[in-house]
Amino acid sequence: MAALWHLQRASVAQITAVVNGTRAVTYSTVQTILRILETKGYVKHDKVARAFVYTPVVDVGQARRRALRHLVKRLFDGSLSLLVLNVLEDDELDPAERERLRTLIDRA
């Protein structure tokens, strides 16, 4: 999704080229992922000549919220407070970040 958000509109080949700049991925893998994302409503495609050209349907914020709702539902029994508690109790959480989170929670 990051590559498509960056490009805004791209073919499978174009997305594959961008992703290959950071990690090895095959054309068929990108094509499969795009089909899955389209089924889930994250992207759509238009046929241009012989290629499918994909565009994002959701922005980064919407995708993050959807993923977070899914995570909360599956791993935290639908409880946002349980998620936040787990984050705040994480030993690897930087103390400055923990304090920033507490401040944000207090403001809300």
SS3 state of residue 46: strand
71: left (phi over 0), alpha (psi -120 to 50) or beta: alpha
The pLDDT confidence band at residue 83, using thresholds 50, 70 and 90, is very high
Residue carrying structure tokens 């401040």: 103
- The more confident residue out of 60 and 89 is 60
Contact yes or no for 77/91 (Cβ under 8 A): no
The pLDDT confidence band at residue 89, using thresholds 50, 70 and 90, is confident
Of the listed ranges 24-33, 73-82, 84-93, the least confidently predicted one is 84-93
Angle between helices 60-75 and 80-88 (to 10 degrees): 90
Token pair recorded at residue 100: 């920033």
The pLDDT confidence band at residue 84, using thresholds 50, 70 and 90, is confident
What domains appear along the chain, each with residue ranges and CATH number?
A: 2-56 (1.10.10.10), 60-107 (no CATH)
